Amino acid sequence: MRKAILLYLLIIGTTSLGLLTVLHFGRQQPLPGYTETYKAAQLIHDHELTSKVTLRDAVQQRLVENATDPLSRFFLQLFVVIAVSYAVGWLFTRCGQPAVVGEMMAGVLLGPSLFGWVAPGVFQYVFAASSLEPLHLLSQVGVCLFMFAVGMEMDWAELREKVSAALLISHASIAIPSLLGAGMACLLYQRLAQPGAPFVPFALFVAISMSITAFPVLVRILQDRGLLKTSLGRIASACAAIGDVTAWGLLAFVVAFARSANFASAIVCLSFVLVFVLVMFVAVKPNIPRWLGKEALAQPKPSRGVLAVVIAIVLASALCTQLLGIRALFGSFVAGLIMPAGGGFRGKLGVRIENISSVLLLPVFFAFSGLRTEVGLLHDHADWLICLLIIAVATIGKLGGSSLTARLTGIGWRESLQLGALMNTRGLMELIALNLGYELHILSQRVFSMLVLMALVTTIMTGPLLTLFGRRREQFAVSV
């Protein structure tokens, strides 16, 4: 041991002395490409600067430079977003709300509505406009992975069992609020549309925002309350699943129409999308088990190779729809729909995808949505009255339309009202649609903020309304 220590000191000491010697003599050489006169003047200038700068100033300057580095700023943004999202999500779970609702609220709190109002200087440093592009790209990756997970949650066997009642209720829950939303758009267009935005895309985006149901949030509410395997839970999840597929199809049309020069080009774009969907279901879906291997599908945990193939399919699908002009998230959703369901593969894969998206990526999307939401823009009584009117119309259309249609199918009034309350849940799906409208310059920041508040309020009220309507729950009048 003693011999090893002596040998270590000899080697390190000798090499250190040699390195210092080389550096000392190397400093005497003139700078490449410069004369001796220039070198002498530069050394005198550097010495004067060094003598004037204290150690404290030098350290402070270095810390400021490191703090303004893009990577440092990005890590700070992620830390703030994840910490605040987790804290607010935990508080909401203690109040009986799903954590995702708290994360949505955290996004609004981190925006100019609260953080930017309370500490504008700190807000501008953390979320400087010039530093938001990496955050935006990461949020889009999170949305794509989330939509992939949503697609995998679709249970086709259960949908087939309840297709008649679920199809009627879900499409009525889209048609009725869409009509009311289009009527609202007529009143809001001149006051709240983005300058230069055509009326038809504006009206369609408002209509879609009124009619969307957040299928994943609805399922989590049913799970938390132990209702998922009940008759109410089965019919609600089936309605939400069919409604989601329909709403995203309609939204794809709206996006294609908004980005096209005319109706004919939108139809051509959608024709290509239909070809893409057919290829995914007819050519890709049957071959996925062969590409992954049947043994790999049956494993308790997906291997790295399986995850690589799945991610490649998601990325390729997202790229196709992005190139077709209807955004990458639609391709990710279709990729989730075609994943194999045998052996619980979707569930095993979904756990890993959700662990990534729910902890890191989705809070980033909520925060980015919150940065676009500025409650301070609603600066007069008229704006707040319009916001309350939007919430009321959205609730009447979705809750009322779903409940009335469910009652007409033979479901009891209490279960119909509970189903309407569940279908009124908008959550993250609403934010995705609103962000598309904002990025396409259809929705102004004011109406965007109003619709975000509507999404939050209608999602938060789901739990209390479900409890209120279920106090004396009856059995379904007929078997659905």
- Residues 266-303 have pLDDT tens digits of 777 778 888 998 999 999 999 888 888 777 777 878 88
Q: For tokens 């409890």, name the residue.
A: 467
pLDDT at res. 480: 42
Indicate the pLDDT class of residue 476, thresholds 50, 70 and 90: very low
The C-alpha atoms of residue 210 and residue 456 are separated, in whole angstroms, by 13
Query: H/E/C letters for each residue in 97-161?
Result: CCHHHHHHHHHHHCCCCCHHHHCHHHHHHHCCHHHCHHHHHHHHHHHHHHHHHHHHCCCHHHHHH
Distance, CA of 58 to CA of 41 (rounded, Å): 22
> Would you state the pLDDT for residue 466?
87
Distance between CA atoms of residues 467 and 475, nearest Å: 16
Question: How far is residue 14's CA from residue 64's CA, in Å, rounded to a whole number?
Answer: 38
Q: What is the CA radius of gyration of the chain?
A: 29
Rounded Cα gap, residues 153 and 378, in angstroms: 38
- Poorest-pLDDT segment among 103-112, 182-191, 239-248, 396-405: 239-248
pTM for the structure as a whole: 0.75
pLDDT surpasses 80 at 216: no
As a whole number, mean pLDDT of residues 173-181 equals 92
Residues above pLDDT 70, as percent of the chain: 90
* Residue 260 DSSP class: S
C-beta of residue 209 within 8 angstroms of C-beta of residue 456: no
Higher-pLDDT residue of 376 and 206 is 206
**Which of the two residues, 50 and 436, has the higher pLDDT score?**
436
Angle made by CA atoms 122, 100, 307, in degrees to the nearest 5: 100
Instruction: Work out the pLDDT band at 213, boundaries 50, 70, 90.
Output: confident
Q: Residue 193: helix, strand or coil by DSSP?
A: strand
**Average pLDDT of 232-250?**
81
Whether residue 238 contacts residue 220, with contact meaning beta carbons closer than 8 Å, is answered with no
What does the pLDDT read at residue 479?
44
- Tens of pLDDT, residue by residue over 127-157, are 988 888 888 888 888 888 888 888 887 766 6
3-class SS of residue 68: coil
Mean pLDDT (the chain) is 82
pLDDT given for residue 186 in this prediction: 92
Q: Which residue has the higher pLDDT, 253 or 408?
A: 408
Q: List Cβ neighbours of 122 (8 Å cut-off, separation of 6 or more).
A: 115
- pLDDT at residue 33 is higher than 80: no
94: left (phi over 0), alpha (psi -120 to 50) or beta: alpha
At 474 the pLDDT is 46
Question: Which domains can be identified in the chain, with CATH numbers?
Answer: 144-360+381-469 (1.20.1530.20)
Q: Helix (H, G, I), strand (E, B), or coil: what is residue 443? A: strand
